[in-house]
Amino acid sequence: MDTLTLTRPDDWHLHLRDGDVLPDVVHWSAARFGRAIIMPNLVPPVTTTAMAEAYRERILAACPADCDFEPLMTLYLTDNTPATEIERAAASGIIHAVKLYPAGATTNADSGVTDIKRCSDALDAMAEQGLGLCIHGEVTHGQTDIFDREKVFLHERLAPLLERHPRLRVVLEHLTTAEAVAFVRQGPARLGATITPQHLLMNRNALLAGGIRPHHYCLPILKREADREALLEAATSGHPRFFLGTDSAPHARHAKENACGCAGIFTAPLALELYAEAFAAAGALDRLEGFASHFGADFYGLPRNRDTVTLAPESRDIPDRLPYGDDTVVPLRAGETVGWQLVDRHPGKARAS
Ligand SMILES: NC(=O)N[C@@H](CC(=O)O)C(=O)O
Ligand SMILES: [Zn+2]
Ligand SMILES: [Zn+2]
């Protein structure tokens, strides 16, 4: 089979963490993607423009010397984010979205929003400034079944939010259900969505059948096979409001292999390769470039990348563990293989600006 050359893709949902693990994490993404939307759920969260600027500098310092990776920063929305902070963020030129974590919904979401109506001023300012809202779309009230949290969020939270803020651009992150796919399709042109490789390749059997697999635990949690099929259909459909967002989310090995293991799957070392696998299995490799390299940039109003990456359909072994500061991290497919290899990157040629 032939190699596959694509416009260099971007990752519209990425966790890089901070501190001594940063150099161990960022190079994987920088080798594959031109830009990435960097999630702000650090401890403490990135709630101000000044914090985002400092974090961006730390990311750039941790990048390999020859890379031209561009971190697109985000702000962490809280009940108290003032409209002035949104204006500062928009004026900074380095912040490209604001992230809504419903309080308690996921990893480091404790400072998230308790009631989105408290954020009306900030959301108005975002619509005014053209700054989009990225959403972890799950309700958090304890009684809602974990498998229903996304579905309930769509109708109880997202639909009213879109109505109250008719000019706000929204990205519903990491879709996991057929309901979410339908919601986005029926939604307005200002509603986009990202899809992860794990949700294209696995259903909840991969988490729970024949033993519990903590490295397959992420939020929103893996759903049924019918949901996976709907996601794969959406991703490979050529619909321009579905685009790539890996949600690569590293955690130290012991924090995952734990009686109370935390949520997040580390896919950065093989993320693009996993998408190629999913698209190849669907017979839709010709649709990968739109999903991975065009639609996200178009939605964010940014120029498409000019350079390319090349993948070959050759099996690559994935190590059991990878370095993670003083610790190790277990990537998806640890001790197994992925069916594609990154063979070449043609760097240097900048994006149109
Ligand atoms: N996806 C996850 O399971 N975890 C993410 C947070 C998130 O994106 O919800 C993380 O930061 O670890
Ligand atoms: Zn999330
Ligand atoms: Zn995430």
Rounded Cα distance between 60 and 20, Å, is 13
- What is the interface pTM, i.e. ipTM, of the complex? 0.99
The amino acid at 340? W
> Whose Cα sits closest to atom 4 in ligand 1?
264
pLDDT 10s digit of each residue in the chain, 353 long? 699 999 999 999 999 999 999 999 999 999 999 999 999 999 999 999 999 999 999 999 999 998 899 999 999 999 999 999 999 999 999 999 999 999 998 889 989 999 999 999 999 999 999 999 999 999 986 789 999 999 999 999 999 999 999 999 999 999 999 999 999 999 999 999 999 999 999 999 999 999 999 999 999 999 999 999 999 999 999 999 999 999 999 999 999 999 999 999 999 999 999 999 999 999 999 999 999 999 999 999 999 999 999 999 999 999 999 999 999 999 999 999 999 999 976 654 445 44
- Active site (catalytic) residues: 247
Structure tokens at 309: 């990456």
Structure tokens at 139: 């309700």
CA distances from 41 to 78, 279, 296, 329, 330 (A): 11, 30, 21, 18, 20
Q: What is the pLDDT of residue 347?
A: 53
- List, in order, residues 6 or more apart from 207 with CB less than 8 Å away: 213, 216, 217, 221, 222
Q: What separation in Å is there between the alpha carbon of 247 and the centre of ligand 3?
A: 4
Rounded Cα distance between 290 and 310, Å, is 15
Task: Tell me the binding residues.
Answer: 13, 15-17, 41, 99, 136, 174, 219, 247, 251, 263
Rounded Cα distance between 114 and 132, Å, is 20
Q: What is the pLDDT of residue 184?
A: 98
> Whose Cα sits closest to atom 9 in ligand 1?
106
Q: What is the pLDDT of residue 107?
A: 86
Please report how many Cα atoms fall inside a 13 Å half-sphere around the Cα of residue 46, on the Cβ side.
Answer: 25
Helices (H), 8-136: 22-30, 49-62, 83-92, 120-129
Q: What is the pLDDT of residue 352?
A: 47
Q: What is the pLDDT of residue 350?
A: 46
Pocket of ligand 1 (CB under 6 A): 15, 41, 106-107, 136, 218-219, 247, 249, 263-264
C-alpha torsion 222→228→239→236, nearest 10: 120
C-alpha torsion 28→34→35→41, nearest 10: 0
